[in-house]
């Protein structure tokens, strides 16, 4: 435990501690005093200092969702945790604590500066998500293995590194190794790396660097390939036809089909099965290609709809801005005229006239908004009909193609049953020339047994086809339903925001008039 706090009770973050810290670190002017009286929202805090608080565990920070800078140095923190919601964090100081492992940073994708100076860390890892990392301070820890440096090569923006005070820093080749394997580094242990040092380091470690680069290139190529496959799969999922561009569905039908796999050993079944598979895959490919085309049509429909909505909103906004600009031209003149008026009767008349102008502006802005609401409602309803028609057509045609899969399965079932019964008759007459595996021959004890085996295989295949069809239909309808609901909800929220904006603006200009009127009457 940090010796500074041996006589102080360890603390866990709580709301009282955070409120106190936010209040003390807020502005000291009149606005700051007012904020402290009314209460400062944690979500509005951008910087928070909690150093020298004897904090043992990080907690209760989830409300600081917009925090950019967090200072937690000089505490007794043992574990990095409770930072998941701080996704906008850019600067984090956890130096002078009791942390043994780097963890809990997976969501901090915007972090640029991280200090873990003077802790108990022995391994550099679990920083993969910090793709923007520029400054890393790990001095005075327990890092002893030079291979930790290799891990840092993935951080392309890393320019400043501190590792002094670690066992690794005592290695004879310490600086040369780091300069060679982290060539973009600018500062090491608070000193600028000179170009001559970089050149010598590169020459000394040339072989090792070349070998490492080859491995990295192979790994990167593999990652790129996996990424491309993942992106392609996501595109297919968006079209609801993933894994229909091949034999995936057919193979899944036989993956758990014990009887079907046994029956494949019967004479003539191999050729029958291959012909069945070829035709089945062709139907699946037809579904797949049709699905991609329909997805593109749905995308075009959605993009066109969004463009229409944005154009309508923008045009309506421009009309509102022009009306407001025209109003404000006379607004200041009217206020000045009221301010200069000394006659009470004239003052009241001018106030009433301008109040009428404000009311007319409010009515006009609300009329514009109502016109936009009606326009967007018509646009949304048209889009809803179009997208539902596209989805219904897609489902109808897919179901027709899936019916072809069932027809192929039924035909295969009939042929397989025919071969199986013929094989049974040959076995009973002792006329079967081919040797069958023991588990296959065990099916041919009587007609009921073989019919049941063939039927079980057939039922399993139909179930797989039905399940895939049901999944496609359910997901497609769900996507359509959620999309339409989201569009309606977005329009409701847009309307509420716009009405609120109008009220706030009109209230503002009305308050200006009311305050001026009051001051003139008092004078």
- DSSP line for 447-465: HHHHHHHHHHHHHHHHHHH
Mean pLDDT, the chain, whole residue set? 90
Per DSSP, the three-state class of 315 is: helix
Taking the C-alpha atoms of residue 163 and residue 140, their distance in angstroms, rounded to an integer, is 7
Q: What is the per-residue pLDDT across 314-360, written as a single tens digit (0 to 9) for each?
A: 999 999 999 999 888 887 787 777 777 667 777 678 777 878 888 89
H or E segment to which residue 363 belongs: helix 344-429
344-429 and 269-340 helices, crossing angle to 10°: 180
Q: What is the per-residue pLDDT across 38-92, written as a single tens digit (0 to 9) for each?
A: 456 888 899 999 999 999 999 989 999 999 999 999 999 999 999 999 999 999 9
Per DSSP, the three-state class of 158 is: coil
Taking the C-alpha atoms of residue 330 and residue 353, their distance in angstroms, rounded to an integer, is 12
Taking the C-alpha atoms of residue 19 and residue 40, their distance in angstroms, rounded to an integer, is 8
* Alpha helices (runs of H) in 239-343, residue ranges in sequence order: 248-255, 258-263, 269-340
Could you list the pLDDT tens digit for every one of the 523 residues in the chain? 344 444 568 888 888 899 888 888 765 444 344 444 445 688 889 999 999 999 999 998 999 999 999 999 999 999 999 999 999 999 999 999 999 999 999 999 999 999 999 999 999 999 999 999 999 999 999 999 998 999 999 999 999 999 999 999 999 899 999 999 999 999 999 999 999 999 999 999 999 899 989 999 999 999 999 999 999 999 999 999 999 999 999 999 999 999 999 999 888 999 999 999 999 999 999 999 999 999 999 999 999 999 999 999 999 999 999 999 988 888 778 777 777 766 777 767 877 787 888 889 999 999 999 999 999 999 999 999 999 999 999 999 999 999 999 999 999 999 999 999 998 888 888 877 777 888 888 888 889 999 999 999 999 999 999 999 999 999 999 999 999 999 999 999 999 999 999 999 888 888 877 777 555 554 5
Structure-token pair, residue 78: 């043992």
Q: What is the per-residue pLDDT across 192-210, written as a single tens digit (0 to 9) for each?
A: 999 999 999 999 999 989 9
The domain 11-222 is placed in CATH, from the list 3.30.70.3280, 3.40.50.620, 3.40.190.10, 3.80.10.10, at 3.80.10.10
Taking the C-alpha atoms of residue 189 and residue 208, their distance in angstroms, rounded to an integer, is 24
**pLDDT of the residue at 1:** 39
pTM recorded for the entire structure: 0.73
Nearest of 66, 118, 110 to residue 93 by alpha carbon: 118
Per DSSP, the three-state class of 12 is: strand
Taking the C-alpha atoms of residue 94 and residue 75, their distance in angstroms, rounded to an integer, is 8
Domain-wise residue ranges, the chain: 11-222, 247-521
The pair phi, psi for residue 240, each rounded to 5°, is: 70, 20
Per DSSP, the three-state class of 83 is: coil
90, 113 Cβ separation under 8 angstroms: yes
The pair phi, psi for residue 106, each rounded to 5°, is: -65, -25
């Amino acid at each position: 435990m940090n010796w500074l706090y041996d006589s102080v009770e360890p603390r866990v973050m709580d709301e009282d501690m955070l409120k106190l810290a936010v209040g003390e670190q807020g502005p000291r002017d009149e606005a700051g005093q007012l904020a402290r009286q009314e209460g400062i929202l944690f979500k509005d805090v951008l910087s928070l200092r909690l150093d020298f608080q004897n904090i043992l565990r990080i907690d209760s920070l989830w409300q600081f969702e917009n925090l950019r800078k967090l200072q937690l140095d000089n505490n007794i923190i043992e574990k990095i945790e409770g930072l998941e919601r701080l996704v906008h964090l850019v600067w984090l100081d956890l130096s002078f604590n009791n942390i043994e492992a780097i963890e809990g940073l997976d969501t901090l994708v915007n972090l640029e500066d991280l200090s873990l100076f003077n802790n108990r860390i022995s391994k550099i890892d679990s920083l993969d998500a910090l793709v923007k990392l520029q400054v890393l301070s790990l001095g005075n820890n327990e890092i002893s293995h030079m291979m930790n440096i290799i891990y840092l090569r993935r951080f392309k923006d890393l320019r400043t590194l501190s590792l002094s005070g670690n066992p690794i820093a005592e290695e004879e080749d310490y600086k040369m190794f780091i300069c060679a394997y982290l060539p973009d580094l600018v500062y090491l242990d608070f000193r600028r790396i000179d170009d001559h040092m970089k050149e010598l380091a590169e020459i000394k470690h040339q072989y090792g660097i070349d070998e490492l680069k080859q491995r990295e290139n192979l790994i990167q190529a593999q990652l790129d390939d996996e990424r491309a496959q993942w992106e392609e799969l996501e595109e297919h999922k968006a079209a609801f036809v993933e894994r229909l561009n091949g034999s995936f569905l057919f193979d899944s039908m036989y993956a758990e089909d014990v009887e079907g796999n046994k029956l494949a050993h019967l004479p003539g079944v191999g050729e029958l099965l291959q012909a069945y598979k070829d035709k089945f895959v062709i139907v699946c490919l037809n579904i797949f290609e049709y699905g991609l085309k329909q997805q593109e049509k749905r995308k075009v429909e959605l993009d066109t709809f969004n463009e229409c909505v944005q154009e309508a909103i923008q045009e309506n906004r421009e009309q509102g801005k022009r009306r407001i600009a025209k109003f404000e031209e006379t607004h200041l003149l009217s206020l000045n005229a009221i301010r200069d008026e000394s006659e009470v009767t004239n003052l009241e008349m001018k106030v009433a006239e301008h109040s009428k102008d404000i009311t007319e502006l409010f009515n006009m802005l609300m009329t514009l908004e109502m016109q936009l609401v009606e326009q967007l409602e018509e646009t949304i309803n048209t889009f809803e009909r179009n997208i539902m028609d596209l989805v219904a057509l897609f489902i109808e045609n897919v179901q027709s193609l899936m019916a072809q899969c069932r027809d192929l399965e039924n035909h295969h079932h009939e042929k397989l049953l025919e071969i199986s019964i013929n094989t049974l008759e040959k076995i009973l007459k002792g006329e079967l020339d081919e040797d069958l595996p023991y588990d296959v021959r065990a099916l041919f004890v009587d007609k009921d047994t073989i019919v049941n085996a063939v039927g079980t295989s057939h039922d399993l295949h139909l179930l797989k086809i039905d399940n895939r069809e049901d999944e496609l239909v359910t997901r497609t309808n769900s996507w359509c339903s959620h999309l339409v609901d989201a569009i309606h909800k977005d329009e409701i929220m847009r309307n509420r925001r716009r009405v609120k904006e109008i009220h706030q603006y009109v209230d503002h200009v009305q308050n200006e008039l009311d305050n001026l009127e009051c001051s003139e009457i008092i004078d």
